[in-house]
């Protein structure tokens, strides 16, 4: 069954970082993607990677004679172009927004960068942690007695970057179908990560957010956080609402007066100390036997090897396997036009097929090959 983006044609200029992940989301939802690959593969951004699934691949060097015109011909028939280079790179290749929109006025031109297309930092290098650092979000992550904790690339590259790029592209495609006009989607990781922190800015301005490690959602509250068990593994407790907290008290035998004052912040350090000692008395699996499936808001902390085998994930098919590689399945789930993970591809696997579909004959293809544009 075709996904909800069936019929949407995407040209992806392959890059590292969140842009390939955003395009994977579009491909999972049924978009037809042609990825423009380099002669040499980058870091997990193509060439048989899971994130590179669901595309066709054309290896062509836009710096070589004739290549730019081939790419513009391809873009003429596309709904979306996605690129993840530094500002100005596509313009130097002759593939900037002005040129592409002149050839295809309905084109949605998606641009993925760390700092954005404008601003004093736009031209300089950076990585996920740097982009997250200027939003205020990184400063709030971790323990009070040490430096902030890097949260993998989830809050920056993938959440603040890829998800917002995909969202912006779909929004612009819907608008283009109504207006007949394309536009540029300037997706910056620093913008998206800042927006993800909206709740915490609201809490800060209402006086409900203090120093790192002292708050409700950052481990300051003893009833919301991670704990170490007797076997060195970990569990999570999220008993925020009074009825959930009461179940925690009852099931764990927390009947001392100390635990009757859930919201007395002055008691939180002492409560946490006692909970730490309590949770070290049993293994993670023993705590699962007592608390899993209750209203405590409990879950074990699983590693990347354990998570795919977890019963809930097994029941929902949250993970899948392809060619011996286990990885997350597409999300979210649509009832009538569900997403589907496409096949992994190797760079250049479809080059000749795509060039012939564009109308190039063997003489033109050989000219591109002899000029170094294609292999």
User: How far, in whole angstroms, is CA 153 from its chain's centroid?
Assistant: 8
What secondary structure letter does DSSP report for 162?
I
Helix H or strand E segment including 72: helix 67-76
Q: Is residue 157 among the annotated active site residues?
A: yes
Choice among 127, 143, 255, 312 that is catalytic = 127
CA angle 285, 289, 291 (to 5 degrees): 105
Of 280, 41, 20, 64, the closest CA to residue 166 belongs to: 20
The string over 310-343, giving b where at least 16 C-beta atoms fall within 10 Å of a residue's C-beta and e elsewhere, is: eeebeeeeeeeeeeeeeeebbeeeeeeebbebbe
Choice among 47, 79, 128, 157 that is catalytic = 157
CA 9/CA 309 separation, integer angstroms = 36
Q: Is residue 139 among the annotated active site residues?
A: no
SS3 of residue 112 by DSSP: strand
First-to-final CA distance of the chain: 35
Catalytic (active-site) positions: 127, 157
């Amino acid at each position: 069954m075709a996904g909800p983006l069936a019929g949407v044609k995407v040209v992806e200029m392959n890059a590292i970082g969140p842009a390939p992940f955003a395009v994977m989301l579009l491909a999972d939802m049924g978009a037809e993607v042609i990825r423009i690959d380099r002669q040499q593969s980058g870091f997990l951004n193509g060439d048989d990677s899971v994130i590179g699934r669901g595309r066709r691949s054309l290896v062509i060097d836009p710096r070589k004679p004739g290549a730019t015109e081939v790419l513009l011909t391809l873009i003429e028939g596309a709904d979306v172009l996605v690129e993840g280079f530094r500002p100005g790179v596509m313009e130097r290749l002759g593939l900037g927004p002005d040129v592409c929109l002149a050839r295809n006025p309905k084109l949605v031109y998606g641009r993925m960068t760390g700092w954005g297309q404008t601003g004093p930092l736009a031209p300089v290098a950076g990585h996920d942690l740097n982009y997250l650092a200027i939003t205020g979000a990184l400063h709030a992550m971790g323990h009070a007695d040490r430096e902030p904790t890097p949260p993998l690339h989830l809050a920056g590259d993938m959440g603040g970057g890829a998800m917002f790029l995909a969202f912006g592209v779909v929004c612009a495609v819907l608008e283009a179908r109504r207006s007949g006009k394309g536009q540029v989607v300037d997706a910056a990781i620093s913008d998206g990560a800042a927006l993800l922190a909206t709740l915490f800015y609201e809490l800060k301005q209402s006086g409900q957010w203090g120093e790192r490690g002292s708050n409700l959602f950052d481990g300051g509250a003893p009833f919301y956080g991670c704990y170490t068990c007797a076997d060195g593994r970990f569990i999570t407790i999220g008993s925020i609402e009074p009825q959930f907290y009461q179940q925690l008290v009852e099931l764990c035998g927390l009947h001392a007066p100390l635990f009757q004052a859930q919201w007395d912040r002055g008691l939180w350090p002492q409560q946490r100390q006692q909970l730490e000692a309590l949770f070290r008395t049993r293994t993670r699996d023993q705590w699962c036997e007592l608390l899993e499936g209750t209203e405590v808001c409990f879950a074990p902390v699983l590693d990347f090897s354990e998570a795919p085998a977890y019963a809930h994930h097994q029941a929902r098919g949250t993970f899948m396997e392809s060619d011996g590689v286990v990885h997350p399945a597409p999300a979210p789930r649509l009832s009538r036009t569900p997403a589907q993970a496409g096949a992994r591809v190797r760079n250049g696997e479809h080059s000749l097929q795509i060039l012939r579909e564009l109308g190039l004959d063997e003489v033109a293809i050989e000219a591109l090959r002899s000029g170094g544009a294609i292999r």
